[in-house]
Amino acid sequence: MSLKEDGPSVAIVGVTGAVGQEFLSVLSDRDFPYRSLKLLASKRSAGKTLTYENRNYTVEELSENSFDDVDIALFSAGGSISKKFGPIAAEKGTIVVDNSSAFRMDEGVPLVIPEVNPEAMEGIKVKSGKGALIANPNCSTIICLMAATPLHRRANVMRMVVSTYQAASGAGAAAMEELELQTREVLEGKEPTCNIFKQQYAFNLFSHNAPVLPNGYNEEEMKLVKETRKIWNNMNVKVTATCIRVPVMRAHAESVNLQFESPLDEDTAREILRNAPGVVVIDDRAANSFPTPLQVSNKDDVAVGRIRQDVSQDGNYGLDIFVCGDQIRKGAALNAVQIAELLL
């Protein structure tokens, strides 16, 4: 991030959380221009000093007056905070990029992955002086669609079946700490501390902790279904998902089965993915080398491998792929900052 007189004024809401901290890291990595920076959090964190790019900043308590003269606000403080303060900020002329689920399915709020559907936020610019809300999709949706979209553009996905293996970071910094604590406790023969997930997480996996809906799907699974349709602007695409929490720190993995309208062979698919922005192919059958969560942790690119024809479908109408991506970076902070870059 670089101090520039003609850059936008930036605020970060929820700066002390896992994604808030990653916002700072990504802004710095990408040399994002800014003329001023405001760090906002709850009353509990207000008054803390954070050092960023050799300058000291005092964390301020988030209030209705926090957005005077703020051009871009990156929000990651949970849905209820976004619902309350997002519209207030937009009303004051701030463009809000929100990482929660608060506005994702609202009509008129763009749901954006810059490599996939940048046109959804066309006309929203800092210089326009108009406030706006832009939603960051769910982390598992972003990671899935980074790989599925280039193939969809070529052969039109009719149906997509996703199984996710989701990291602790999706539930925040406290969940990551609890996974580490539990791992030590179990290895020492102690009873594991279960404050965040209410069950043992270390050396275990379980159905995603999002609430289960009357249709038997949990909220995380339905986010994948609904968000894919909105981002692809296609209400007819059939999507089903099963979301699982696994004892991994910060990168999600997803098994994705695709059914196409037009035939697409695996070699062509591999070539398409090699040329897709933000995607790296790791697909070495001889060495049995494919994407892993550790490989993509703290990395920007989403990795794709296990690219193979689906033998359960006739002809070249189906593919299986395995995708891994850093949940805190591309799944959240990086995607939001890329959206902010499109506003300049």
Return the active site residues. 139, 252
DSSP 44: T
Sign of CA dihedral 303, 223, 335, 20: negative
Tokens of residue 293, six digits: 């969560």
In sequence order, what E strands does the chain have?
2-3, 9-13, 33-34, 36-41, 49-52, 55-58, 60-61, 72-75, 95-98, 132-135, 157-166, 206-207, 238-245, 251-260, 279-281, 302-309, 318-326
Q: Report d(CA 268, CA 150) in Å as an integer.
A: 11
Q: At what angle do helices 18-29 and 334-342 cross, to 10 degrees?
A: 50
CA 260, chain centre distance (Å): 25
SS3 303: strand
Cα separations in angstroms, 119 against 8, 164, 287, 320: 22, 28, 40, 28
With tokens 């800092």, the residue in question is: 126
> How many Cβ atoms from other residues are within 10 Å of residue 155's Cβ?
21
Q: Report d(CA 95, CA 86) in Å as an integer.
A: 9
Tokens of residue 56, six digits: 């000291």
With tokens 């207030």, the residue in question is: 88
Tokens of residue 336, six digits: 């939001």
Q: Looking at the chain, how many residues does it have? A: 344
Q: Report d(CA 154, CA 302) in Å as an integer.
A: 19
CB 135 within 8 A of CB 109: yes
With tokens 């193939």, the residue in question is: 151
